[in-house]
Structure 1
Amino acid sequence: MPYEIDKPEDQWRAELTPQEYHVLREAGTERAFTGEYTDTKTAGVYSCRACGAELFRSETKFESHCGWPSFYDPADSSAVELIEDRSHGMVRTEVRCARCGSHLGHVFAGEGYPTPTDQRYCINSISLRLEPRDD
């Protein structure tokens, strides 16, 4: 799928840190409970670290105690792309930024969290940038 932001991989490597590149462009995962936004309660907008697209809002962030920031809904359904992921011997749904194709994490459903959507967007902190706002 063509993305609005389409850069050669050497340009992504130059713009991102090695860890950001590994997660965003190679579908890596940061270690659980190490990300800067795992326990953040700051009001604001979470954007894609690679391209700046708005992805999630703090109002939909919840404590899942899974080790990564969790959201129950994206800011806009067209902000993310969902792709079947059959890696690691299981079937999951990968979440990517719809604007640049960067890997964000995975979404899970039916886990029983008391959220309006019964979904958990399990997103790597390193894939995001929080823009705080005053409420």
Structure 2
Amino acid sequence: MSFKFKKIICVRLIIMIFLILLGGCHSTTKGNIKNPHNQNKIATPFSKKGILLYKGETGLLLINNKSPKKHDDSLDTPLLVDKYKHDLIMMDLTKVDTTELSKGQTIEIWFDELQESFPPKATVEKYKIIID
């Protein structure tokens, strides 16, 4: 075989391998949500259920089947965080209408990302009030 013929076969082989690898990188978005902040990133929604301890622009959700004690209603945010530190999610509620929410309700929240902080933080995409 001549050198020119070997070079052509080698280039075709490299192009074919590249196309196969490119085809393998194709992913489907079925069942996922497009992240509004980064259109190329796909987020999978997560949910958590709990009791709303504090409502404002930032809320506190008590999780892990814990129930607050009656006198805890009057505690301010830093004391609530200190008392329930391992069972809380700090929620950013700026993306949802919170007029129906009130302290003490059991709710389920959906979010795309749970930030690993102490306590963990999440931006709520939607919520549902659970009636006991």
TM-score by length of 1: 0.29
TM-score by length of 2: 0.29
**Relative contact order: is structure 1 or structure 2 higher (C-alpha 8 Å, sep ≥ 6)?**
1
Higher helix share: 2
**Higher gyration radius (CA):** 2
